[in-house]
Amino acid sequence: MKKRYEELKNLLNMHSHNYYVLDNPSITDYEYDMLMRELIEIEKNNPDFISPDSPSQKVGGAILTEFESVEHDVQMQSLQDAFSKEEIYDFALRVEKALEKGTEYVVEKKIDGLSVSLEYRNSLFVRGSTRGNGFVGEDVTNNLKTIKSIPLKLNVDVDYLEVRGEVFMSKQNFKKINEIKEENGEEPFANPRNAAAGSLRQLDSSIAAKRNLDIFVFNIQKIEGKEIKTHLEGLEFLRTAGFKVIDNDKKFTSIDDVLKEIENISSERSSLYYDIDGAVIKVNNLAEREILGSTSKTPRWAIAFKYPAEQKETIVKDIFVTVGRTGVLTPNADLETVLVAGSKVSRATLHNMDYINMKDIRIGDTVLIQKAGDIIPEVVKVITEKRSGNELRFEMPKTCPECGSHVVKEDGEAAHRCTGLSCPAQQLKKISHFVSKNAMDISGLGEAVVKKLLDENIISSSADLYYIEKDAISSLDKLGEKSSENLINAINASKEKCLSNLIFALGIRHIGLNTAKLIASKFKTIENLINASEEELSLINDVGAIMAKSVVEFFSETSNLKLIEQLKNAGVNTQYIDTSTGFDNRFENLTFVITGTLDSMGRKEAQEIIENFGGKVSGSVSKKTDFVVVGESAGSKLTKANELGIAVLNESEFLEKLN
């Protein structure tokens, strides 16, 4: 049980990171909810298992360093989820027992988008932020200003107002944007929520403006100068103020009527121009909400009913295999096209042979499919009573369908892998990962362009990118003189990236960006890392035995060492800090916070400098902060630093410390 608990913790934290930080969900909401339920059940029966890093102990999410951090005055909590009528009855029973009487409820559509806070002073919009981890979010004011449904000035006079809303992308707009991305050979967004989140977190607000985002405001977080007694009264005030508020003017005293309203909303779901994934039940009276209070992460006066995924029958016409960047062969079902949750579905991933065998999926089977969370199509089950006897069992190929190399399955692993080091499918995925934002960050090198470079034999590995001539790029279709020049400049600029980016870019199994930073900080140079033992790697906090073994195995391969040598010869930085500075750890054990706008450099560049000198950069000011570096328009962080007596450095003083 303890082993399963640790496994669940790691899985949920990984998927939360993919969803909240990378905007790249790796499982459906339903799968995540089920994993979380299992973890909470284990904790309930084994309270001694509960640890501070458990996903149950936090609202969720992490903060990206590209944006200024915002500390929320009022915690932006998540909601407790319910999946059955019985759970709604239990919720009402708890509420009415605590209040010692009946109460009024309101029921709202649960918008499937990105939760944000909007702040107004003297009726003017002054700041907007994401939820982040509930306590600290990201300042996305400029991007929120591009949303036409957000009033920059309210229609009412108010000293201070903070509201909470859900940013979303309409279904029609989502379809148009994905059509454009596919025409340009770009990877389409997974769903409207993913598109909205990715758009809102663009550093360039002009990109967000082109995405035509929208918002529904659904709650008053804090207000000064006006008394609001009920939730419905608050919504009416928000409408009057000029906010776009979802239609909701009903209140219910019977939980049976609440359940009927949940069903009514469900019946509207497919006809709405936006996505919803459930309905939210709230206590209407705000004074009663105060009595009910909250847990550390959810209010006791509200609950979210999550709708089950729509399911449809279809036929498995065939099963085909795709090859990923690590050589993993993934079986996929070719399905008779069927409309599910508003979109056509013609394929679904079958993950691996264990998955196929567990569900006994055969070619020709009639299967039940769903888009759990309206995101990823999946096979729920085989309808065995519809079998004719002509169905065929699928077997994983013995050789790679892309390169013909042998396929192997290691003991203890579910995956089958291609053994070919020069497999074209692997190379496409490996190079696409190598140039991605968190790796070497070579803008303009999308998967479509990488594929063209491979198809034309201009490159065969990541290292070849640094030896490309401009004429070779400009000869490709749709890449003119200016685009070729920009691409060459981006490639050259990537040579200066930190060693941690390079380690992550290499695509070593089990090594993510944060682990790459820890390893780079410890070993300083690629040579030191190549010569490191499993024992030395395992001494680093958060680097386990499996990770250490993976790193050592990667650098024991002759082909990988050859790649490193080619990168070094091309001038790619392979050291943790610039060689001209030496191993200067002047900021070791010091924590900095950067706020405001610096004239001589961006915040990201300042952060890299601090980290290269051995320091740490935090997104919020606390007693553990040693220095706060302030630029123009420094806000609440400067105020808090002064309150705590923390040393404040202006830009000139900060630059002096670098000399």
426: Cα separation from own chain's centroid: 24
Within 8 A by CB and 6+ apart from 105, the residues are 92, 251, 252, 253, 255, 258, 281, 282, 283, 284
For residues 361 and 355, what is the distance between their CA atoms, to the nearest angstrom? 9
Helix, strand or coil, per DSSP, at residue 340: strand
Cite the DSSP H helix spans in 321-446: 353-359, 424-434
How far is the C-alpha of 250 from the C-alpha of 252, rounded, in Å? 7
Burial (CB < 10 A; 0-12, 13-18, 19+), residue 557, is: exposed
Q: How far apart are CA 443 and CA 487, in angstroms?
A: 7
110 is a catalytic site residue: yes
Kindly report the three-state secondary structure assignment for every residue of 432-499. HHHCCCCCCCCCCCCHHHHHHHHHCCCCCCCHHHHHCCHHHHHCCCCCCHHHHHHHHHHHHHHCCCCH
Q: Of 58, 109, 110, 429, which residue is the catalytic one?
A: 110
d(CA 508, CA 276) in angstroms, rounded, equals 38
Give how far Cα 238 sits from Cα of 247, 295, 364, 422, Å: 12, 27, 55, 60
Q: Which residues sit opposite 164 in a β-bridge?
A: 117, 219
SS3 309: coil
Query: Reduced to 3 states, what is the DSSP secondary structure of residue 385?
Result: helix
In angstroms and rounded to an integer, the radius of gyration of the C-alpha atoms of the chain is 27
**Cα–Cα distance measured from residue 589 to residue 614, given in angstroms and rounded to the nearest whole number:** 7
> Which residue type, as a one-letter code, is found at position 133?
N
Residue 607 burial (CB count, 10 A): 19
Question: DSSP alpha helices (H): ranges in 506-574?
Answer: 513-523, 526-530, 534-538, 545-555, 558-569
How far apart CA 342 and CA 275 sit, in angstroms, is 10
Q: Are 231 and 217 in contact (CB under 8 A)?
A: no
Residue 299 CA to chain centroid, in angstroms? Answer: 24
Which residues are annotated as catalytic?
Answer: 110
